Amino acid sequence: MTITFKTPDVLPLSPETLAALKGVTTATLTTILLKKGLRNVWLRGAKPIRTGQPRLVGRAFTLRFVPAREDLATPESWSSPISTRAAIEAMPEGVIAVVDAMGVQDAGIFGDILCARMAKRKVSALVSDGVVRDAAGVLGTGLPVWCSGVAAPASVAGLTFVDWQLPVGCGGVAVFPNDVIVADDDGAVVIPQALVEAVVPLAVEQERMEAWIMLEVEKGVPLPGLYPMNAETKARYDASKK
């Protein structure tokens, strides 16, 4: 029996959600998600390739590698209908490519040409627990990248590409197509698709509250009763919003 999978459509993100999440740090999001019972949402190994990249938000477009197998992981495989090249051509504008490279450190999953094509297609970013190659060229494409480092060997030196737009495990975190990825200088965080509407207002309020707390700290207010807030501080904060 042959089992076929339907590639999920990439759902749009509303301009309001996009704008709101661009104002929320990944640190704040981990706190909000922790309060909802989700502890494993920060993608290990996905570090910004350069500091100061803009905070980016987008739907996850997933890609998956498995360990290299010599009959499949060959330069000829790059011309296969199931290849990183084909996956890139399927990426809609605005998505964040989330690549499960199993944390492999000695095989660069993407290089300058693939990243340049992604930038041309207006993909928002590349996020992976693996490494890239052609580092100077990748930086030159302008594509924002979060990864675990750089390595000269090609992907087929250690990995076999197998599919896209299916659930993956990136940096030890389950990521499904259409989950929302937020990435900044602290790394990348996944918001499960079903929780986005609930998380956004809570995260925006958390940012507003912490900005107010910072002002209080600058005034010399001590932390006990301020962070976290006691009832008196909460009343002062609520009054400040009116």
pTM: 0.93
CB 48 within 8 A of CB 146: yes
pLDDT at 50 (0 to 100): 94
pLDDT at 133 (0 to 100): 97
pLDDT at 122 (0 to 100): 98
pLDDT at 73 (0 to 100): 65
pLDDT at 78 (0 to 100): 74
15-22 vs 196-218: helix crossing angle, rounded to 10: 30
**Per-run averaged pLDDT (10 residues), the chain, 242 residues:** 58 96 98 97 97 96 94 77 94 97 97 98 98 97 98 95 97 98 98 98 97 97 96 96 85
Q: How far apart are CA 4 and CA 110, in angstroms?
A: 27
Pairing of strands 47-48, 145-147: antiparallel
> Going by C-beta distance under 8 Å and a sequence separation of 6 or more, which residues neighbour residue 218?
none
Instruction: Please report the domains of the chain, with CATH numbers, ordered by start residue.
Output: 15-193 (3.50.30.40), 198-240 (no CATH)
Q: Vertex 138, ends 133 and 131: CA angle to 5°? A: 35
> Going by C-beta distance under 8 Å and a sequence separation of 6 or more, which residues neighbour residue 76?
none
pLDDT at 197 (0 to 100): 96
